[in-house]
Amino acid sequence: MEGFEYMDIYEPNLRNKVITFPDLERGDAIEYFVEYDMFETRFEGVFDGNHYFQSTEPILHSRCVVIGPESKPLDWKVFNDEEKKVRFKRKRKSGRIIYRWWADEIEQVIKEDVMPPFGDVTMLLLFSTTNWREFSRKVYELSEPMMSLESEANMSVMPAEGDTTPPVDAIRETVKELIKGKETDEEKLRAIYYYVAQKIRYLGLPLSGKEAIEPHPVAQTFRDKTGVCKDKSALLATMLRLAGFDAYVVLTNPMGKVHSEIAATQFNHMITAIRLPDGTYRFFDSTDDLCMGMLPTYEAEKGVLIATPEGEEFMHIPSIPASENAGKIQAVSRVDETGKLTSKVTISGAGLYDEVLRMIVRQNKPEERRRFVMRLLKQISPDAKLISLSISPNPITNLYEPVKLEIEYEALDYATVAGRYLLLRLPMATDALDVMSNTLSYITQLETRDYPVYLGYTIGTETNETLEIPPGYMFRVSPDNFKVEDANFLFTVNQRLEGKRIFYNKRYELKRCEIPASDYPNLRRMVGQFTDYRNSQLVLKKAQ
């Protein structure tokens, strides 16, 4: 289906139905009914669903009717309906229960940049006949036959053409080889995770079975070296079990909120978890082949349901502080009496920052990387010239080593010479080489907001620069050191002059994945201070 190719999902049975309305004029209205025919439910004996009462267009009247047996009563709730516009009636008739919800004159949702996903903020009805523990067990019962190497589904998978080893045996041998010589659990985890993340291509082919939840047999996924999230998560769990870990597949939704109150299908992704000795869980997402930490940081705080034989309650992935997603920029610079700047900069990072650097490197050829860095350097000075660029590790997909970019550059006439004065900005104060700093400007473009700021992850950067100045010069004018902080944002700057060196430290953290609209004015004010600092000037005066 058009629109899924970028995700490497090629399913001929998916269709977009396009209905045209010729000769519509301003003021016309459209009335439509939608009927869903479900021929094969995900779980036997379970019924669940949803209904959106709100849209990006105004709605005059919206109604949802569900008719079900008295033996399977619905658990339901309406979300994001502060004005109580949705009304409800229930009636029993001939052994059935008729549920009716309706609302009139519903205002449209006016979208804002970086607002939460649509389903998080609109009037939404969820209903279900099950609970989370039963939901968890049902997922386990559906996926386990595809994960057990002793099951008929896996034993019947034949070797690839030209190969004689049954895939189930090949999986066992691969795990043995991967963990050979590994002394710690962490080493074993990384070896197996990196294999599934990087050797099994994310690729969706024709669907089968209980789609979106039931994986293909792991032997097939291993043999073909392809699969989507459900397939990769199942294979990773199977291989981790062979290495001695208590592993399971996990339902989640990295793109939106899962409402815990109703055990309805709200998931669009599958990952993997292992149960630790203390009963807690650790999570892994093998669809991300550049994630050094084995779980993308945008999945922090997301709702998850682990599929176990005894059934699990709904839970959330723990939050990840900004310090674990932060960039680190170190610069050693020098400016001479003519105003010429020379500098060596090292850029590295953790979590999301490390992954962003890897993506930039992988998506660009060597010459394109140099041009990319040059564009950044031109923000420091139009006269900037790139002397050298070194990137490690090589290849960039080596997840055992953090990314490091080493940049050497120079800029003639960087500082303005005015008699006994030198006027300049600290090069790293410009944030030109911080690949994530523009995020702050982007999320605070609007003057006011009706909805929260939703970034989906925390982020930050710490920058240190040592700038050597010509002998005999002293501060004449310098920006003040300061710190601003609240529950959402931290920004601190410190600089000092010792001898002929200026020591500069700047740190910022966006500390929450989602920032309430009520906090937005203060966030915008603090980010304004952050961006204004980029233009701060140093004035150095030479002693007589």
The residue-averaged pLDDT of 436-455 equals 94
Give Cβ neighbours of residue 508 (< 8 Å, ≥ 6 apart). Answer: 437, 440, 460, 461, 489, 490, 491, 492, 530
pTM above 0.85, yes or no: yes
134-318: which CATH architecture?
Roll (3.10)
pLDDT value of residue 41:
72
Q: How confident is the model at residue 205 (pLDDT cuts 50, 70, 90)?
A: low
DSSP reduced 3-state for 226: strand
Whether the CB-CB separation of 269 and 103 falls below 8 Å is answered with: no
pLDDT value of residue 13:
54
Cα–Cα–Cα angle for 151, 253, 235, nearest 5°?
25
The residue-averaged pLDDT of 292-310 equals 97
Whether the CB-CB separation of 68 and 43 falls below 8 Å is answered with: no
Alpha helix segments (H runs only) across 114-272 = 118-121, 132-147, 152-155, 167-179, 185-199, 218-224, 229-242
Task: Return the percentage of the chain with pLDDT > 70, whole number.
Answer: 95
Residues of the chain with CATH 2.60.120.1130: 323-542
Q: Does 323-542 carry CATH code 3.50.50.60?
A: no
| CATH code of the region 48-129 | 2.60.40.3140
pLDDT value of residue 38:
63
Q: What does pLDDT average to over the chain?
A: 93
Q: How confident is the model at residue 30 (pLDDT cuts 50, 70, 90)?
A: confident
The residue-averaged pLDDT of 318-324 equals 96
Q: How confident is the model at residue 4 (pLDDT cuts 50, 70, 90)?
A: very low
For 375, the enclosing helix (H) or strand (E) is: helix 366-380
Range name among 233-237, 283-287, 474-478, 507-511 with the lowest pLDDT average: 474-478
CA distance 535 to 426: 9
Range name among 1-10, 102-111, 126-135, 393-402 with the lowest pLDDT average: 1-10
Task: Return the percentage of the chain with pLDDT > 90, whole number.
Answer: 83
CA 182, chain centre distance (Å): 30
Residues of the chain with CATH 2.60.40.3140: 48-129
pLDDT value of residue 11:
55
pLDDT value of residue 21:
83
The residue-averaged pLDDT of 220-231 equals 96
CA distance 154 to 135: 24
Range name among 3-17, 206-220, 361-375 with the lowest pLDDT average: 3-17
Q: How many residues does the chain have?
A: 544
Closest CA to 515 of 194, 116, 108: 116
DSSP reduced 3-state for 175: helix
Q: How confident is the model at residue 44 (pLDDT cuts 50, 70, 90)?
A: confident
Check pLDDT > 70 for residue 8. Answer: no
The residue-averaged pLDDT of 386-406 equals 98
pLDDT value of residue 1:
43
pLDDT, tens digit, for every residue of 141-166? 999 999 999 999 999 999 999 999 99
